[in-house]
Amino acid sequence: MQETVAPTPPGSRPVSSGLLYGLRVAVVAQAAAIVVAASFAGQAVQSGGALVETHVMVGMVTLLIAAIQIVVAVLYWRPGGGRGWPALASVGLLLVGAGQPFSAEAFGIHLPSGVTLFGLTVALLVWAWSPGATRSR
């Protein structure tokens, strides 16, 4: 007699807690860096450009964090059994962030791109700390 095994429904198996923790750390670091970059941008505009170099350096840090976040998000997704959209959102963060230096002189592009970065990061931050992040795909 052959034994049948019922398939496990999606979302019933928890994802790797270590990978989820790593993703949470990366997203929090990204959020902190974006807030700091925005703060220096505002101060640079107010002071007539005195803190532009600092804003650029923090922007480079956000790109580095986004690259690390992509790696962690892909690990969370594929071997970890988690959702795939955080990896795509992380790639989006990297692409939009990489375009920021090219639009530095055009506030009509640079500012909305920064707001997009902020919004995408907040969405990832809220999701990463929600109970839905612990469920598998």
Q: What pLDDT is recorded for position 2?
A: 61
For the residues 94-123, what does the mean pLDDT come to?
93
Residue pointed to by tokens 């790696």: 71
> How confident is residue 10, by pLDDT bands cut at 50, 70 and 90?
low
Q: What pLDDT is recorded for position 6?
A: 45
The rounded distance, in Å, linking the Cα atoms of 60 and 97 is 9
- Mean of all residue pLDDT scores within the chain: 89
Q: What pLDDT is recorded for position 117?
A: 96
List, for residues 44-76, the tens digit of each pLDDT value.
888 887 889 999 999 999 999 999 999 999 999
Tokens of 87: 């990896």
List, for residues 27-43, the tens digit of each pLDDT value.
999 999 999 999 999 89
pTM: 0.85
* Cα separation values, 75 from 16, 23, 84, Å: 10, 9, 10
What's phi and psi for 135, nearest 5 deg? -90, 145
Ordered by start, the domain boundaries in the chain are 17-130
